[in-house]
Amino acid sequence: MPNYKQDPNDPKKQVPGELTDQHYDNSTVPVRNIITKTPNYILVTAATDGPTGFFFGSSASFAKKATIEDVTNSNALTGSQHYNNFGTLPAGTRLNIHPLAWSGSVGDAGKIIFMYKGGLDGGGI
């Protein structure tokens, strides 16, 4: 709940304060093969060019696999064998999944959107 403040028209009453940024839904376009905050759901804005995969392991397993795969860049996990393949996704697809990362073709960058619900409990307003 937002903080309450004194009603400007009646000093004996209170009115709700301003909502914080946490109260609003937001989204991010995650970078391919890079770990990110787990979303509430996924939106596909345009049909993907090829198979799209999502990583569902822990952040520790992601880091370990990324380090084994490429010692110089332990932040990226590019091997498709580490991702669950969801195939080619049509535009407008909503996936109620909670991955840590996604993988697909370079042309699919920007087509996968991680959505986060607002509200202090993450359940929306």
Span of 2-6, 12-16, 74-78 with lowest mean pLDDT: 2-6
- If one compares 107 and 22, the residue with the highest pLDDT of the two is 107
Domain chopping of the chain, boundaries = 4-116
pTM: 0.77
- Determine the Cα angle at 36 with ends 103 and 21, to 5°: 135
For 105-115, b/e burial (b = at least 16 CB within 10 A) is eeebeebbbbe
Contact (Cβ atoms closer than 8 angstroms) between residue 34 and residue 124:
no
Can you name the residues that pair with 44 across neighbouring β-strands?
112
pLDDT value of residue 73: 65
pLDDT value of residue 89: 97
46-103 per-position pLDDT tens digit: 999 999 999 999 999 998 898 888 766 668 898 889 999 999 999 999 999 999 999 9
